[in-house]
Amino acid sequence: MPESIVVIRLARNLRYKLTYIKIFETYLESERQTVVAELLKSLLQAYQIAIGPLASYLRRMDVAAQELELDEKLLDHAFSRGDTESQLRFIHDGLSRAASWYKTQLADRQMAADLELRQLLIDLGEIDAAKLWRTEAIMAALKIPLTLKEPDYTEPVIPEPQKTTEWRPRLADDIRRPNWTGDRSAPDRSRGPRRSDSWSPRQPTERSGAGEDRSPTKGRKPGDKFPKGDSR
């Protein structure tokens, strides 16, 4: 017969409490600050008291607390904290999660249907909430932030270059050069022809070998007629 959701959740909660007792004992062995040591002792005592009624309730559902194993993953996370600050943050995070968990269970009809279980959840939730408040007070006295501020790895936003209408001299290289939009604009003809556009080689006038101008109009006067057969 599969276990009910009530048994699964309560057994998991008891397993976490047994694991935290081991964590508190280990932290207490190396703690030198009196105020933190007193906090660890109070947490250890509160959890040892809390597992009594919880284990008793589960025993009536044929669940033996002695058969529950400690959470090795949780132990690894706890023992990776090498200083007091990180250890207190770990404890604070665990108490905060526990207090929220009890509120969630009380809102669940399956967990709150039994009045005895409902009262047990209220009592356990109040213990964790009280220890959470005391932990926060000690961290504030020691000026230890509850969370570490994560570095901001977002790339800075580079503003787009603003288009200006200021005058600048037009260079010859600007002709057919791509602009900001990638278009190749035609040269501006509004200012008249440029030397590079209107220049053409000069045609030298025809001269004789002695330097005499042999132009057919040389020496003619206005009104003179062209010789017969001349198409001019």
Structure tokens at 14: 């008891």
Q: How far is CA 140 from CA 3, 90, 100, in A?
A: 43, 15, 21
Q: What angle do CA 211, 214, 216 make, to 5 degrees?
A: 160
Tell me how far apart the alpha carbons of residues 51 and 169 are, in angstroms, rounded to a whole number: 86
Structure tokens at 113: 């249907």
Q: Are 121 and 106 in contact (CB under 8 A)?
A: yes
206 pLDDT more than 70: no
Q: Which CATH superfamily is domain 5-141 in?
A: Ferritin, core subunit, four-helix bundle (1.20.1260.10)
Task: Find the Cα–Cα–Cα–Cα dihedral 180, 186, 191, 193, rounded to 10°.
Answer: 140
Beta bridge partners of 178: 184
Average pLDDT rounded to a whole number, residues 20-25: 97
For residue 208, name the pLDDT band (cuts at 50, 70, 90).
very low
Average pLDDT rounded to a whole number, residues 160-167: 58
Q: Which residues of 87-104 are buried (b: 16+ CB within 10 A; e: fewer)?
A: bbbbbbebbbebbebbee
On whether the pTM is more than 0.85, the answer is no
93 pLDDT more than 60: yes
Q: Are 197 and 204 in contact (CB under 8 A)?
A: no
Average pLDDT rounded to a whole number, residues 95-114: 94
Question: How far from the centroid of its chain's Cα atoms is residue 146's Cα?
Answer: 20
Structure tokens at 110: 């399956």
For residue 67, name the pLDDT band (cuts at 50, 70, 90).
confident
Structure tokens at 40: 């660890």
Average pLDDT rounded to a whole number, residues 5-19: 95
Tell me how far apart the alpha carbons of residues 30 and 1 are, in angstroms, rounded to a whole number: 46
For residue 116, name the pLDDT band (cuts at 50, 70, 90).
very high
182: left (phi over 0), alpha (psi -120 to 50) or beta: left
Q: How far is CA 101 from CA 9, 48, 135, 164, 227, in A?
A: 10, 19, 18, 60, 123
pLDDT at 229: 52
Structure tokens at 2: 């599969």
Q: What residue spans of 31-159 are helical by DSSP H?
A: 34-59, 72-79, 84-106, 109-112, 115-141
For residue 180, name the pLDDT band (cuts at 50, 70, 90).
very low
228 pLDDT more than 60: no
